[in-house]
């Protein structure tokens, strides 16, 4: 059985995007390109906003969702993910360095 890394490294496989946007809606989320996120934002900014928004996610799936269910659109770049990992590592190290105040009892 091939592992995930081998599957994604096979010739002819589509290249995975490094930067993407996350569209979060009630009970679901989709990963989209920058261009698609901009189109979704433009639709959300219309007055009045449309009842439905249609877009294509990074897997090629066509999505149609009620506008009122979209909670947020989140940018996610490789640099942002690396900074977030570094931030969380620093917080963990900081917590480990703190004295255990409960251990004195």
**For residues 3 and 41, what is the distance between their CA atoms, to the nearest angstrom?**
37
Encoded tokens for 12: 């002819």
Domain boundaries, the chain: 18-98
User: Residues near 53 by Cβ (< 8 Å), separated by ≥ 6?
Assistant: 40, 43, 44, 64, 65, 66, 67, 70
pLDDT in tens, the chain (105 residues): 556 666 566 667 767 778 999 999 989 999 999 999 999 999 999 999 999 999 999 999 999 999 999 999 999 999 999 999 999 999 999 998 888 777 655
């Amino acid at each position: 059985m091939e592992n995930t890394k081998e599957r994604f490294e096979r010739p002819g496989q589509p290249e995975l995007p490094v930067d993407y946007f996350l569209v979060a809606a009630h009970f679901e989320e989709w990963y989209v390109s920058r261009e698609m996120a901009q189109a979704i934002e433009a639709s959300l900014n219309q007055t009045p906003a449309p009842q439905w928004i249609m877009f294509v996610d990074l897997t090629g799936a066509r999505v149609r969702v009620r506008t009122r269910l979209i909670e947020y659109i989140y940018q996610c770049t490789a640099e942002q993910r690396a900074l977030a990992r570094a931030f969380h590592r620093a917080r963990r190290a900081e917590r480990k360095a703190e004295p255990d105040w409960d251990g004195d009892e």
